Amino acid sequence: MTHSSLIVEPSKGLRGRIRMPGDKSISHRALLFNAMACGTASLEGVLDSLDVKATLRCIQRMGVDASMSGVVGCSGVFVAPNAALDCGNSGTTARLLLGILAGQDFSSRIIGDASLSTRPMRRVTMPLARMGAQFSESGDGLPLDVQGGPLTAVEHSLSVASAQVKTALLLAGLQAKGTTVVREPAVSRDHTERMFAAMGVEVQREQHADGGHVLSMSGGQALRPFSGRVPGDISSAAFFMVAATVVPNSDLVVEGVGLNETRSGVLDVLSRMGADIRTEDRWMEGGEPVGTLRIRHSALNATSINGAEIPRLIDELPIIGVAAAFADGVTVVSDAEELRVKESDRCASTVRLCRSMGANAAERHDGFSIEGRKGQHANGFVFKSALDHRMAMAGVIAGLHAERSCTVVGTESISSSFPTFHALLEDAHG
C-alpha cells in the first residue's frame, strides 16, 4: 500500500482568523443519541470526517434515516443490519455502538480497519456481558459478534477513566431494567452527561474528594431529540495553538473552540509552559462552553503532566510532546498508559517524532519524557506517522519550525478527524 506524504516547508508565522470544525466526540454522540431518540433532530456543524461518517453509515444500516444535518430517531428500536457494521478507524463508533447493540433484540457483527481491530474491546464487552449481552470474539478486538437482548442494570467500577466505556455503559443502561451505576477513577469528558441532560435523561453525578466520579441513571428513560450546533473541536485547535506558539511572528485567532473543562487540559498545560493564549470571548452552544482563542508566539518552559489532568488532554499528548521538544527543560508525562492503545502506541510514536526533530526523548511505561531544545529549530526530518491521524498532524506542526523542509508520511489518515486541516493551515499562512 502506498501512503500519501506531505512536504512541510518552514513557516514564517501563522496569522489571521480560522474557525474549527465540529467536535468529533460530540458529533458521534449527536448522531448516535438522536438515532435512539423519539422524534426528529436538526444539527449544524457535525464534523464531516471519516470517523463520524462511519457512525453515520452504521446507524443508517440499522434503519435510521440520518444525514450530517438531521436524524429521525427510531425510539430505541433499531432494525437488524443486513451486513457487518464497519467502524473504520473509529474507536468511539465501535465502543458506543456496542452499548446500543447490547440492548437490541438481534445479532450483529462489528468490524473495523487494521488499527481498530487490534484495539481493546473487552473493557466494554465484559461489563456489557454482565448486563446480559452476548459476544463472540477471536481476541480483545474486532471483529465481534453481538447478540443483544433484555438487559439488567449493574454497578460498574472502571479501572481507567474512559468516556467511551462510560458512554457505552450508559447507553446500555438506558435500555436496562434498574439503576446503572458507573464509577470512574477520575472525571473523563462529560459530553454524554451534558447531551443526556439536554435530551431529558436524568443522570445523578457525584464527585469524590479523591477525584473519583460516580454516575447513576435509571433505565427506561426516553431520549428527546437534541437539535443544535456542535462546537468546534479543541483537540483539533490544539495543533494550531502549538503551531502559533512555537513559530515566531505568529498571531492567530481560532474561533468557536469547545472549552469544556473536561477537555481543556491542553490550555492549562500550554499556559503553564508559558504560551500566550487568551480567551477573547465565551458563550454556550448546545449545553457546552465555547470560545475564541488568540494565540501569539511565545517561548516555552518544560512541565510535568500526570494524574487527573491526563483524561482532560489524552488526545493532545502527541502535540504537547512537540511543544515540549521546543521548550526549555525536561517535560515528563506519566499516568498515561492509555496512550499505548490509541490509534497507534502514542508513547512510542511521540518519542519517535521528538527524536527525529533532534530532541532527547525516552519512553516511560506510562508516558514519556522529552528534553526540549529551547526554541531552536527542529532538525529536518522524515516522519512515518503509522497511519495515526494525530501523529500525522503533530508531525506537520513540528515541521513548521524546522531548519529545512520535512516530510510526513501517511497524511491520508488526517481525514479521520480533521479533513480541513491542510486548508486551514494554508489560510493561517495567508
The residue among 334 and 379 lying less far from ligand S3P, judged by its C-beta, is: 334
Query: Using the rule CB under 6 A, which residue among 113, 190, 193, 315 binds ligand S3P?
Result: 315
Q: Say if residues 423 and 24 touch (Cβ distance below 8 Å).
A: no
Q: Which of 142, 254, 314, 354 binds ligand S3P (CB under 6 A)?
A: 314
| Grid cell at residue 345 | 502506541
Choose which of 34, 89, 164, 292 interacts with ligand S3P (CB under 6 A): 164
Please tell me the distance from the alpha carbon of residue 190 to that of residue 256, in angstroms, as a whole number.
19
Q: Please pick, from the candidates 11, 25, 55, 125, the single residue that binds ligand S3P as defined by CB under 6 A.
A: 25
Residues in 83-112 that interact with ligand S3P by CB under 6 A: 92
Q: Which is nearer to ligand S3P, 11 or 192 (CB)?
A: 192
Nearest residue by C-beta to ligand S3P? 25
Residue 315 a catalytic site member? yes
**161-169, 276-284, 289-297, 354-362 -> range binding ligand S3P (CB under 6 A):** 161-169
- Report the residue number, 171 or 402, with the smaller CB distance to ligand S3P: 171
Instruction: Give 26 or 357: the residue with its C-beta nearer to ligand S3P.
Output: 26
Among 67-75, 157-165, 275-283, 346-354, which window interacts with ligand S3P (CB under 6 A)? 157-165
Total binding residues for ligand S3P by CB under 6 A?
A: 11
Give 331 or 417: the residue with its C-beta nearer to ligand S3P. Answer: 417
Which among 71, 70, 195, 230 is positioned nearest to 62, based on CA atoms? Answer: 71
The strand pairing partners of 8, in sequence order, are: 406
Helix axes 91-101, 50-61, angle to 10 degrees: 20
Count other C-beta atoms under 10 Å from residue 11's C-beta. Answer: 21
CB of 51 to ligand S3P, least distance (A): 9
How far is it, in rounded angstroms, from Cα 24 to Cα 263? Answer: 12
Rounded Cα distance, 92 and 48, in Å: 15
Contact call for residues 13 and 248 (beta carbons, < 8 A): yes
Closest contact distance (angstroms) between CB of 62 and ligand S3P is 20
Amino acid at site 391? M
Give the number of other Cβ atoms within 10 Å of residue 282's Cβ.
10
Q: Least separation, in Å, of the C-beta of 122 and ligand S3P?
A: 13
Strand 40-44's sheet: what is its strand order? 65-67, 70-72, 40-44, 228-229
User: Least CB distance from residue 126 to ligand S3P, whole Å?
Assistant: 15
- Residue closer to ligand S3P by CB (options 185, 399) is 185
User: What CA–CA distances, in Å, run from 22 to 25, 29, 97, 281, 314?
Assistant: 9, 12, 20, 18, 18
Q: For the segment 175-234, give every residue that binds ligand S3P (CB under 6 A).
A: 188-189
Pairing of strands 213-218, 204-207: antiparallel
Q: Which of 162, 349, 411, 415 binds ligand S3P (CB under 6 A)?
A: 162
User: Which SS3 state, helix, strand or coil, does residue 255 take?
Assistant: strand
* Alpha carbons 406 and 403: distance in angstroms, whole number: 9
- Cβ proximity to ligand S3P: between 71 and 96 the closer is 96
CB of 188 to ligand S3P, least distance (A): 6
In terms of CB distance, is 162 or 349 closer to ligand S3P? 162
d(CA 404, CA 381) in angstroms, rounded, equals 9
| DSSP bridge pairs for 184 | 213
Q: To the nearest whole angstrom, how small is the minimum distance from the Cβ of residue 272 to ligand S3P? A: 22
Dihedral sign from CA coordinates of 388, 160, 270, 251: positive
Q: How far is CA 11 from CA 8, 37, 286, 316, in A?
A: 9, 47, 36, 22
Could you say whether residue 350 binds ligand S3P (CB under 6 A)? no
From 105, 315, 335, 345, the catalytic residue: 315
Q: Among residues 163, 293, 387, 397, which is the contact residue for ligand S3P, using CB under 6 A?
A: 163
188 residue type, one letter:
S
Among 1-9, 162-170, 247-255, 317-325, which window interacts with ligand S3P (CB under 6 A)? 162-170
Q: Which one of the spans 2-10, 158-166, 242-250, 281-289 is the region binding ligand S3P (CB under 6 A)?
A: 158-166
The answer to whether the CB of 66 falls within 8 A of the CB of 36 is: no
Shortest distance in whole angstroms from residue 255 CB to ligand S3P: 22
- Please identify every residue annotated as catalytic: 315
| Positions that interact with ligand S3P (CB under 6 A) | 25, 92, 162-164, 167, 188-189, 314-315, 338
